[in-house]
Amino acid sequence: MGLLLAPVFLVVFWYSDFLLSSIKNSYYLLIYIANLLSVPLLLRTFFKPLKNEYREGLVLFSVLMGIIIKSAVLLVAAMLLLISFMILLGINIGIILLPAFLILLLII
């Protein structure tokens, strides 16, 4: 009787443990990539002057130049994060569909 329940236990393990840990690891990987690209730091210092320039005539220029440069870097970082998200989403959808694909292969 235990051998007949092995596929049921495998599917239960696959969706309860493996899928949830895969989604959690994907989330941690996205957070790691965002930190690697310094996205939280760029967002925190977005309106601060570039290179801490606080001389009388250069503050406005330094703030505007910092906004322009940080916007360009954030745009590239957002594209990389979007690509990473799409890859991880594809992997997780593949993990969801793999048992159904294996059952389909057994039927055919």
Q: Per residue in 22-79, pLDDT tens?
A: 999 999 999 999 999 999 999 999 998 877 777 878 888 888 999 999 999 999 999 9
Give the per-residue pLDDT at 43.
94
Q: How confident is the model at residue 95 (pLDDT cuts 50, 70, 90)?
A: very high
Q: Around Cβ 67, how many Cβ atoms within 10 Å?
A: 15
Average pLDDT of 66-94? 96
Number of residues assigned to the chain: 108
pTM: 0.82
